[in-house]
């Protein structure tokens, strides 16, 4: 069971564009503006530091909130990572003497985003359609005299490698490279005199949840041991306030340490269990089905999932070849022989009957394996489409039933809902 701290935090379905009426006070001289990722402002009489800037279209809102509480020049902009929801508003905040500071891998990470932009947008739509709809409503709600800033693709003025320090008046800032986070330019920003850490998404998007070592929306593979090392780097700071990329800050050194140690030890346990399984000859599918975190190390699965990280850890060491079938070595899709297999089974009707039996027996995952063959063999058959809807609805119900007191998984729910909606649309096109 996840900790009470994590249980009462907002989940991924609560992420929405910037919308608060005023900046949220974090501590004296420090404010947060929530959005598709949190932005922060640290200010004193000499100026202000903006930490992450949200998406481009949110930047005007963030800036209006900060101008209201800290109407001083923006001396620095600091980035905890290069993802678009962190860098998008840089140009709107940047002034003539503003310094943009990021880790040295930031340009390479931005280049990755640009390189597969069209691919990633297409892959992301099943999950972020609601967020896009909210963003559209946000844009339409803006004052007519408030232009919507374009998305920035910024070039940092200062690139650091391991650590970088500067001062804003008498307030010291330290930037610490944590490449085990979501990106290899991941940065923790530390205020040593205030014991406040700004960690962005170094722990993935949801604090206290299984990290996304592999993302369904498309990103580079991440690795368990560097992640554990990054968590330890933050533990060693002994922060009293932890400002994260999504959700409210965590307060209290003891609480923060306890939660971080649980996260560190949970991911370490999972890594070690996968490696032991690999060396013992267990298949990746056996481990995906069987491995569960011990109760005292339980983490939420609202963003990442244990089973997905099992496969990510396995393939991070061994690559995509699992040595279980020769067809893995050839460009043969898993459904290449589906039409022949369905015919050999007695036709679509026989396969649908088997799917229905498995659904009735409470095994929607086996039903899924069969319906995917039937769909490949007869993609426009209304009975196949209807049965596919039933299978995906059963998978969704199974997942929700498994998490009655916990967060349902943002990515899995998004994909299943997308498949159900897509099949309903396809069915409507073939039925009169």
Residue 296 in domain: no
Q: Are residues 105 and 212 in the same domain?
A: yes
Residue 307 in domain: no
39-44 and 158-160 beta bridge pairing? unpaired
Distances (CA, A) of 82 to 109, 265, 415: 6, 27, 25
Q: Are residues 252 and 343 in the same domain?
A: no
Given 229, 249, 266, the domain boundary residue is 266
- Confidence band, pLDDT 50/70/90 cuts, at residue 432: low
Q: Are residues 116 and 242 in the same domain?
A: yes
Given 231, 266, 301, the domain boundary residue is 266
Distances (CA, A) of 39 to 36, 65, 147, 382, 417: 9, 11, 20, 48, 30
163-168 and 24-27 beta bridge pairing? unpaired
- State the pLDDT at residue 431: 65
Given 237, 266, 295, the domain boundary residue is 266
Q: How many CB atoms lie within 10 A of CB 273?
A: 20
Residue 63 in domain: yes
Sheet containing 187-191: order of strands: 163-168, 171-177, 187-191, 196-200, 241-244, 250-251
Six-digit token pair at 121? Answer: 């947008």
pLDDT over 80 (residue 235): yes
For the CA atoms of 215, 218, 221, 223, the dihedral, rounded to the nearest 10 degrees, stands at -30
Q: What is the DSSP string of 74-127?
A: EEEEE-S--SHHHHTTHHHH--TT-EEEEETTHHHHHHHHHHTHHHHHHHHHHH
The domain that holds 64 is classified in CATH as 3.60.15.30
The DSSP symbol for 328 reads G
Q: What is the DSSP string of 399-428?
A: HHHH-TTSPPPHHHHHHHHHHHHHHHHHHH
**Mean pLDDT of all residues in the chain?**
94
Are residues 168 and 47 in contact, defined by beta-carbon separation less than 8 angstroms? yes
Q: Quote the domain boundaries for residue 210.
A: 4-266
pLDDT over 90 (residue 137): no
pLDDT over 70 (residue 291): yes
Q: Given its phi and psi angles, is residue 70 left (phi above 0), alpha (psi -120 to 50 degrees) or beta? A: beta
Q: Are residues 357 and 261 in the same domain?
A: no
Residue 281 in domain: no
Residues 100-114 have pLDDT tens digits of 999 999 999 999 989
**What radius of gyration do the chain's Cα atoms show?**
24
Q: Whole-model pTM? A: 0.94
**Among residues 425, 413, 315, which one has the least CA distance to residue 380?**
425
Residue 397 in domain: yes
Residues 52-89 have pLDDT tens digits of 999 999 999 999 999 999 999 999 999 999 999 999 99
Q: How many domains does the chain have?
A: 2
Q: Which of 91-95, 118-122, 165-169, 200-204 has the lowest mean pLDDT?
A: 118-122
């Amino acid at each position: 069971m996840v900790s009470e701290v994590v249980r009462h935090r907002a989940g991924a379905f609560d992420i929405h564009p910037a919308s608060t009426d005023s900046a949220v006070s974090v501590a004296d001289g420090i404010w947060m503006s929530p959005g598709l990722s949190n932005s922060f402002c640290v200010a004193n009489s000499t100026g202000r530091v903006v930490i992450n800037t949200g998406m481009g279209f949110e930047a005007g809102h963030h800036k209006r909130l900060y101008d209201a509480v800290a109407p001083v020049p923006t001396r620095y902009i600091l980035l905890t990572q290069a993802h678009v929801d962190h860098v998008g508003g840089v140009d709107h905040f940047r002034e003539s003497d503003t310094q943009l500071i990021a880790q040295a891998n930031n340009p390479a990470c931005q280049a990755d985003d640009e390189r597969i932009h069209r691919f990633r947008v297409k892959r992301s739509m099943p999950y972020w359609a609601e967020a896009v709809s909210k963003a559209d409503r946000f844009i339409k709600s803006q004052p007519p005299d408030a232009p919507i800033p374009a998305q920035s693709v910024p070039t940092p003025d200062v690139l650091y490698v391991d650590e970088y320090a500067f001062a804003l008046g008498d307030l010291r800032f330290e930037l610490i490279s944590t490449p085990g986070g979501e990106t290899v330019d991941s940065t923790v920003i530390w205020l040593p005199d205030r014991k406040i850490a700004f960690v962005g998404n170094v722990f993935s998007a949801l604090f206290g949840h299984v990290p996304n070592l592999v993302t369904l929306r498309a990103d580079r593979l991440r690795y368990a041991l560097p992640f554990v090392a990054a968590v330890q780097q933050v533990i060693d700071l002994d922060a009293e306030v932890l400002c994260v990329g999504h959700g409210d800050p965590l307060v209290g050194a003891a609480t923060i340490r306890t939660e971080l140690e649980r996260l560190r030890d949970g991911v370490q346990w999972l890594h070690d269990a996968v490696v032991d399984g690999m060396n013992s000859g267990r298949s990746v599918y056996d481990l995906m089905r069987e491995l569960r975190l011990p109760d005292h190390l339980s983490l939420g699965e609202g963003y990442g999932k244990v089973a997905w990280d099992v496969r990510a850890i396995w393939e991070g060491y061994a690559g995509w070849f699992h040595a279980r079938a020769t067809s893995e070595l050839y460009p043969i899709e898993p459904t290449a022989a589906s039409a022949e297999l369905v015919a050999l089974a007695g036709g679509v009707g026989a396969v649908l009957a088997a799917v229905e039996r498995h659904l009735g027996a409470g095994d929607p995952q086996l039903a899924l394996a069969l319906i995917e063959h039937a769909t490949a063999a007869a993609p426009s058959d209304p009975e196949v489409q209807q049965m596919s809807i039933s299978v995906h609805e059963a998978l969704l119900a199974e997942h929700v039933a498994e998490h009655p007191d916990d967060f349902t998984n943002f990515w899995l729910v998004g994909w299943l809902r997308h498949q159900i909606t897509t099949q309903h649309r396809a069915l409507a096109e073939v039925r009169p």
